[in-house]
């Protein structure tokens, strides 16, 4: 394949990205010039940017003018995203590594220092993983899963933020931390005790960081999501369909629809919808919002408790 074909491919992916976030006939100039939406010349870090919410957030920050540092474990996916970012006229750097490893945080700190002269305005802690196991299912053989989950969902984000914290302080009123949480951590869900504990812990860390950043005018908040249409739920959907088919049911029906029916829209939140609350908190619109946990769950907790 020739180089021009590759460029066209990148251009097409960039156009698709704009349309997914801004709709038909997207106007990048408006997105980057609106005083309440622009992130022009700011530097944002997004962990877990390979796919799902993290990728959507990285795309949206770029659309509104930010340069981005993309963290994740899938180097190919990160490099492909970086190509789109650069085609949209912004800088992109990639940090590959396990978020639970302190070397990854050190690598992030090095990239910020070497590539951006220590400048960082936005830290989005998205990386982590769900640990779905009833507490009575833990044995001596799998107890390490507990520390793995806490390391990925709590210790890792703390280390990553520590690596860039001075830059966030120096950013003054532009310094923003946005942690990605879950309503599961707020409500407590059977079978997710360890995951819920780690996300609840991040809620406490969020408030502490918000208190510390008051001195420099920065903010720290968390967005706690309900079901978002990501690969995790898609895998559960596939498993559910196989089980339904084995039982003689209709495999074309969505086994997750009963969960979606508990949401006001009767569907899961899209990745693009999930990214916009982060944009709000990262930009001028969120300047007066700090130490808050913003629930974005389609009303699933409200409807369940009603």
Q: How many CB atoms lie within 10 A of CB 105?
A: 25
Supply the DSSP string of 48-66, one letter for each residue.
TTTSHHHHHHHHHHHHTT-
The angle at the Cα of 130, spanning 128 to 136, to the nearest 5 degrees, equals 135
Whole-number Å distance between alpha carbons of 232 and 218: 33
Catalytic residue among 165, 195, 225, 280: 195
Whole-number Å distance between alpha carbons of 249 and 254: 11
Between the alpha carbon of residue 112 and those of residues 173, 209, 259, the distances in Å are: 19, 20, 41
CB 157 within 8 A of CB 110: no
Which helix (H) or strand (E) segment is 301 a member of?
helix 300-305
Q: Is 225 a catalytic residue?
A: no
Strands (E), 3-160: 43-46, 67-72, 92-96, 122-125
The angle at the Cα of 284, spanning 278 to 288, to the nearest 5 degrees, equals 85
Render the burial of 120-156: b for 16+ CB within 10 Å, e for the rest. Answer: bbbbbbbbbebbebeeeeeeeeeeeebeebbbbbbbb
Whole-number Å distance between alpha carbons of 133 and 150: 14
CB 273 within 8 A of CB 54: no
Sheet order of strands, 176-182 included: 92-96, 67-72, 43-46, 122-125, 176-182, 219-225, 293-296
Catalytically active residues are 195
């Amino acid at each position: 394949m020739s180089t021009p074909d590759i460029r066209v491919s990148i251009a097409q992916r960039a156009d698709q990205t704009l349309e997914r976030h801004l709709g038909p006939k997207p106007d990048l100039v408006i997105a980057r010039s609106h005083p309440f939406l622009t992130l022009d010349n700011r530097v944002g870090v997004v962990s877990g940017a390979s796919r799902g919410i993290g990728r959507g957030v990285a795309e949206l920050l770029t659309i509104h003018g930010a340069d981005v540092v993309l963290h994740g474990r899938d180097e190919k996916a990160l490099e492909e995203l970086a190509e789109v970012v650069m085609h949209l006229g912004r800088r992109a750097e990639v940090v590959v590594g396990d978020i639970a490893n302190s070397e990854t945080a050190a690598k992030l700190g090095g990239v910020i220092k070497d590539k951006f002269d220590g400048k960082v305005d936005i830290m989005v802690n998205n990386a982590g993983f769900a640990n779905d196991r009833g507490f009575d299912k833990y044995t001596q053989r799998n107890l390490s899963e507990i520390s793995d989950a806490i390391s990925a969902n709590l210790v890792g984000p703390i280390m990553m933020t520590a690596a860039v914290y001075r830059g966030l302080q120096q950013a003054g009123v532009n310094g923003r931390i946005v942690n990605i949480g879950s309503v599961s951590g707020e409500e407590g869900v059977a079978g997710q005790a360890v995951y819920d504990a780690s996300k609840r812990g991040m809620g406490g860390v969020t408030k502490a960081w918000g208190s510390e950043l008051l001195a420099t005018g920065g903010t720290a908040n968390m967005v706690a999501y309900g079901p978002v249409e990501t690969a995790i739920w898609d895998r559960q959907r596939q498993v559910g369909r196989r089980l339904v088919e084995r039982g003689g049911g209709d495999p074309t029906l969505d086994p997750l629809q009963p969960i979606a029916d508990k949401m006001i829209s009767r569907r899961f939140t899209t990745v693009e919808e999930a990214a916009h609350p982060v944009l709000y908190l990262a930009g001028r619109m969120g300047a007066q919002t700090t130490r808050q946990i913003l629930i974005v769950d389609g009303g699933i907790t409200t409807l369940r408790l009603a």
